[in-house]
């Protein structure tokens, strides 16, 4: 599970959200050109699955009380399951239901987001203003090496399972009175100061979102799929990287042995059943 928080795909979150909302409608426009009879992918949150883009823009842009023109007005949360996770969801629920499950999961992720601020009046997703948009595909951009090398054209769909969710979340809570910034990781000089200025632990948030996925869907996550594994390889020291790589190898070997033992047990069971059927035929013939 890859979760990233940024200012905006369009690079600016200090003004209107209109440009970002329009950008995230690109797939709807493209799919409409291909098939005008196909319905759009609506925006959603914990209250509705049928939210129009103009409502997203209006609500986000009018939830900015006492924010100056130089302050962030909203943030973008990208929720991108891995290909393994997406294949698991589709196998468990089927294509369309997998979308519904992913949206429900995104709502739970936004509850984790709200709780991460550790504020008494912000306890879950109903206390924040956000709108999610499911995207079925990813598209090549000029930054991709395949485009630079002329192998594909800009705008073409990327292969594989690419379903993901983009969430626009307001800087202010649902009452437009509390400032919430996931970019503020200040711990302050003491606990009281930290609670006053606010803080957001992005590592804890990503780990909580991962645990939620595993709990909700009963997903058996391997160590190499975990956030802690990727984070250690990226930010850990030499010894930490060696240690977690070794743990990954040991886990893989253990799973391999378990698979072999299961295969042996199945083969033995099949032989016993075959012998039983054979003995039954002999006795019947006698």
pLDDT of amino acid 36: 82
> CA 276: distance to chain centroid?
50
pLDDT band at 268 (very low <50, low <70, confident <90, very high): confident
Q: In order of start, what are the domains of the chain with their CATH numbers?
A: 2-221 (3.30.930), 222-286 (no CATH)
Bridge pairing between strands 128-135 and 43-44: antiparallel
Instruction: Answer for the pair 139, 158: CB distance below 8 angstroms, yes or no.
Output: yes
Task: Give the strand order in the sheet containing 43-44.
Answer: 2-6, 74-80, 164-173, 128-135, 43-44
pLDDT of amino acid 208: 96
**The whole model's pTM is what?**
0.84
In three-state secondary structure terms, 156 is coil
| Tens-place pLDDT, residues 78-106 | 999 999 999 999 999 998 899 999 999 99
Which runs of consecutive H residues, i.e. helices, occur in the chain? Answer: 18-23, 26-34, 53-61, 83-93, 95-115, 145-148, 191-197, 202-217, 227-235, 238-285
Q: Tell me: pLDDT of 188 over 70.
A: no
| Tens-place pLDDT, residues 139-164 | 998 889 999 999 999 888 999 999 99
Per-residue b/e over 188-217, b at no fewer than 16 CB within 10 Å?
A: eeeeeeeeeebbbeeeebbbbbbebbeeeb
- Average pLDDT, stretch 24-53? 91
Q: Tell me: pLDDT of 74 over 60.
A: yes
- Average pLDDT, stretch 218-222? 93
Q: Tell me: pLDDT of 286 over 50.
A: no
Q: Tell me: pLDDT of 173 over 80.
A: yes
- Average pLDDT, stretch 44-54? 96
Q: Average pLDDT, whole number, for the chain?
A: 89
Q: Tell me: pLDDT of 277 over 50.
A: yes
Instruction: Answer for the pair 152, 140: CB distance below 8 angstroms, yes or no.
Output: yes
pLDDT band at 34 (very low <50, low <70, confident <90, very high): confident
Residue 171 CB partners (closer than 8 Å, separation 6+)? 63, 64, 67, 71, 72, 73, 74, 75, 179, 180, 181
pLDDT of amino acid 76: 97
Q: Tell me: pLDDT of 248 over 90.
A: no
Please, which residues bridge with residue 6 across strands? Answer: 76
pLDDT of amino acid 269: 82
- Average pLDDT, stretch 61-82? 96
């Amino acid at each position: 599970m890859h979760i990233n928080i940024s200012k905006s795909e369009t690079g600016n979150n200090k003004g209107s959200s209109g440009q970002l909302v329009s950008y995230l409608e690109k797939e709807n426009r493209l799919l409409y050109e291909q098939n005008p009879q196909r319905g759009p992918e609506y925006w959603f949150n914990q209250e509705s699955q049928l939210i129009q883009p103009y409502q997203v823009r209006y609500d986000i842009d009018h939830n900015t009380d006492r924010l100056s023109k130089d302050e962030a007005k909203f943030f973008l949360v990208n929720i991108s399951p891995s290909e393994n996770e997406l294949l698991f969801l589709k196998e468990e629920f089927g294509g369309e239901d997998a979308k519904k499950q992913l949206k429900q999961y995104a709502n739970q992720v936004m509850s984790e987001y709200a709780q991460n601020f550790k504020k008494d009046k912000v306890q879950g997703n109903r206390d924040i203003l956000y709108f999610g948009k499911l995207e079925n595909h990813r598209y090549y951009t000029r930054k991709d090496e395949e485009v630079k090398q002329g192998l594909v054209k800009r705008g073409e769909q990327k292969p594989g399972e690419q379903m993901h969710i983009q969430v626009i979340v307001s800087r202010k809570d649902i009452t437009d009175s509390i400032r919430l910034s996931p970019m503020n990781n200040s711990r302050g000089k003491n606990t009281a100061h930290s609670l006053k200025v606010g803080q957001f632990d992005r590592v804890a948030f990503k780990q909580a979102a991962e645990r939620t996925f595993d709990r909700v869907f009963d997903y058996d996550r391997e160590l190499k799929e975990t956030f802690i594994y990727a984070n250690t390889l990226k930010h850990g020291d030499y010894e930490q990287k060696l240690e977690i790589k070794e743990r990954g190898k040991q886990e893989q070997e253990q799973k391999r042995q378990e698979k072999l033992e299961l295969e042996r047990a199945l083969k033995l069971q099949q032989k016993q059943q075959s012998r039983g059927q054979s003995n039954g035929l002999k006795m019947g013939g006698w």
